[in-house]
Amino acid sequence: MDATPADYDRDPSTIHIVRPQRPANATPAGSACDTFFIPMKISSITCIGAGYVGGPTMAVIADRCPHIQVTVVDANAERIAAWNNGPLPIFEPGLEAVVKRARGRNLHFSTDIDKAIANADCIFIAVNTPTKTEGEGAGKASDLRFVEACTRHIAKSARDHTLVVEKSTLPVRSAERVREVLDTAGTGKTFDVLSNPEFLAEGTAIADLENPDRVLIGCENPVAAQALVDVYAQWVPAEKILTTNVWSAEMAKLAANAMLAQRVSSINALSAFCEATGADVDEVARAIGTDSRIGGKFLKAGVGFGGSCFKKDILNLVYLCEHHGLPEVAAYWQQVVEINEWQKRRVAQTVIKNLGGTVKGKRIAVLGFAFKKDTNDTREAPSVTVCTELLAAGAELVVHDPKVSHAKILADLKDSPRAAACHYANTVADACKGADAAVVVTDWDAFRTLDWVTLAQSMQSGAWVFDARNCVDHKAVRAAGLRLWAVGKPMTS
Ligand code: NAD
Ligand code: UGA
């Protein structure tokens, strides 16, 4: 029996697709034709998770698709209140303007998760996927309990046929598990599971979302994939929207982060070699980056990569490789993390070594605490390792960051020895007053143009500047009579 329009469509205006009866002559169950040939149209989206990904991503979708109602929900009521009333819970250049344009029109933030799920044609899961701290795979595998909780919630509260989109970064083949949870809930509702990993970087999230290098959509059902393609096609050129199978999309996200982190570890490894040999890492990076096969991006030596994802995603990859009997591949990627840990400690140890082998009782200004410029995010920030090592060695720290609060810094250092010896300054000038050294840990633009002559006047005589980001004006530092160490640079430059 052929399916009739009534089988497909309970609400023709919003097209909540109901999986139709299979015609007798249809292709086998589970094939791409399973949901048949009728186009799906997404007119309401719910995103579970109002964090660094869910918030900005949905704000841009709402901004660019005024015909779609977008609701972002979160279990954290404080976070939702901040999205509704400000100040926004995360700092991202350009985010406020986008939110202001769409909020209340077709962008909504809510804690009513059930209702938002029931109202949606398409549900993004954008919750956190941290590294497991206990059980099988502890320390490496991704903890998927938040994703599972969302999936159960969706199974319970979804209304009709619903697209479930993995936006969180997940282990390869997670969609299988999501599908299983949805199907075994026994509700009789139908779902398509898609993988649409997010590639935005913090600090440039809005620009990345508005003009992405690519949008990746993994899905077995071309009709469902097309529905999501149509959303992005409102502002992303067609050639930048890639569709793949689900496993490739999940894998590509892990692979992209691993490759990016690998470049940072490679240049950081070379930075130590440059210091040992008198080469200049920025000159080396420029020279190799002009080779079009290598490319110039992500070759900035520094204090090691931070952020919530590189380390956790590589550890997840390591775990999966071990699980699939590929110990050599696992060891290869593990080394990217090891070099990163080493680089962070190396910077702290360089400070101690140059300050006469001891920092006990010395005052050190720490310039920057966020894991990179233009964000208030401190997850896995290298500053935590640097500060912890310096505190353990007896230093008195004064931290200044343009966007990270004292309370956040103290919370991040709560497990460090002598955390009480970490103070906060509202300005760089206050941080540097009486300091034996200033350590530049975050590449904030404001640090590029510091007045080192004035700063030097308030610092101890013979004070040092340690530029772990190569972002301050080295000539100006030297001209001010300060001693300088800069990552990957010869001591005489
Ligand atoms: P986040 O911690 O900032 O936000 C996650 C939010 O999900 C939190 O507000 C939390 O309260 C909420 N949440 C968790 N479980 C919930 C549940 N069951 N119901 C309702 N709300 C729930 O995390 P994030 O940085 O936005 O990252 C989310 C995912 O996106 C991760 O998988 C991450 O790897 C990936 N990702 C992050 C970035 C980034 O730049 N931060 C970029 C690309 C991909
Ligand atoms: C990174 C990826 O760039 C995003 O594509 C991805 O979506 C995201 O992770 C994620 O999955 O969470 P993010 O961590 O926000 O984005 O920021 P990056 O610009 O990648 O920087 C990561 C770290 O590497 C920072 O600490 C940064 O300072 C450092 N880095 C980056 C360097 O030290 N040198 C470089 O050349 C580039």
Judge whether residue 34 has pLDDT over 60.
no
Local structure of 336: helix, strand or coil: helix
Beta-carbon neighbour count of residue 259 at 10 Å?
Answer: 11
Does residue 253 carry a catalytic annotation? yes
pLDDT per position as a tens digit, 228-276: 999 999 999 999 999 999 999 999 999 999 999 999 999 999 999 999 9
> Quick one: tokens of 9?
């469509």
| Confidence grade of residue 94 (pLDDT, cut at 50, 70, 90) | very high
142: DSSP letter:
B
3-state secondary structure of 123: strand
Mean of pLDDT values over 470-486: 98
pLDDT of 156 higher than 50: yes
* pLDDT tens by residue, 74-89: 999 999 999 999 999 9
Catalytic residue among 47, 122, 219, 309: 309
Is the pLDDT assigned to residue 32 strictly greater than 80?
no
What residue owns the CA closest to ligand 2's atom 24? 305
Give residue 185's pLDDT.
Answer: 84
257 close to ligand 2 (CB < 6 Angstrom) = yes
- Provide the percentage of residues in the chain whose pLDDT is more than 70: 92
Residue of 46, 52, 154 best suited for mutating to test ligand 1, as the one with most atoms within 8 Å of CB: 52
Q: What percent of the chain has pLDDT over 90?
A: 90
pLDDT for 202: 97
Asked about 309 being catalytic, the answer comes back as: yes
Cβ neighbours around 492 below 10 Å, total? 7
**Is pLDDT above 50 for 62?**
yes
Residue with tokens 């090691």: 304
Nearest bound ligand to the CA of residue 90: 1
394 pLDDT higher than 60: yes
Confidence of residue 338 (pLDDT cuts 50, 70, 90): very high
Nearest to 310 by CA among 298, 297, 322, 327: 298
Sign of the Cα pseudo-torsion (414, 415, 421, 422, in order): negative
For residue 348, the one-letter residue type is A
User: Is the beta carbon of 377 within 6 A of some atom in ligand 1?
Assistant: no
Q: Mean pLDDT in the chain?
A: 92
Buried b / exposed e over 115-138, threshold 16 CB at 10 Å, is: ebbbbbbbbbbbbbbebbeeeebe
| pLDDT classification of 213: cutoffs 50, 70, 90 | very high
Greatest Cα pair distance in the chain: 90
pLDDT at 11 over 70: no
Which residue shows structure tokens 């997404």? 42
- pLDDT, mean of residues 282-310: 98
Task: From the CA of 300, give the closest atom in ligand 2.
Answer: 36
**Can you name the residues that pair with 440 across neighbouring β-strands?**
367, 467
Q: Determine the atom of ligand 2 nearest the C-alpha atom of 372.
A: 28
Check residue 192 and give its pLDDT: 96
Q: Give me the count of residues in the chain.
A: 493
Mean pLDDT of 130-145: 96
The per-residue DSSP string of 239-301 comes to GGEEEE-HHHHHHHHHHHHHHHHHHHHHHHHHHHHHHHHT--HHHHHHHHHTSTTT-STT---
pLDDT number for residue 37: 54
What is the reported pLDDT for 39?
79
pLDDT of residue 492: 66
Beta bridge partners of 363: 396
Q: Please determine, for residue 324, whether its predicted confidence score (pLDDT) is greater than 90.
A: yes
Q: What is the pLDDT of residue 91?
A: 94
Query: Above 50 in pLDDT, residue 436?
Result: yes
C-alpha closest to that of 126 among 81, 76, 68: 76
pTM over 0.95: no
Q: Which ligand is nearest to the CA of 111?
A: 1
443 pLDDT higher than 90: yes
383 pLDDT more than 80: yes
The pairing of strands 44-48 and 122-125 is parallel
Q: Which residue's CA is the closest to the ligand 2 atom numbered 13?
A: 201
* Nearest protein CA to atom 44 of ligand 1, as residue: 198
Q: Are 265 and 339 in contact (CB under 8 A)?
A: yes
pLDDT in the model for residue 333: 98
Query: Rounded distance, CA 248 to CA 251, Å?
Result: 5
pLDDT in tens, 348-381: 999 999 999 999 999 999 999 999 999 999 999 9
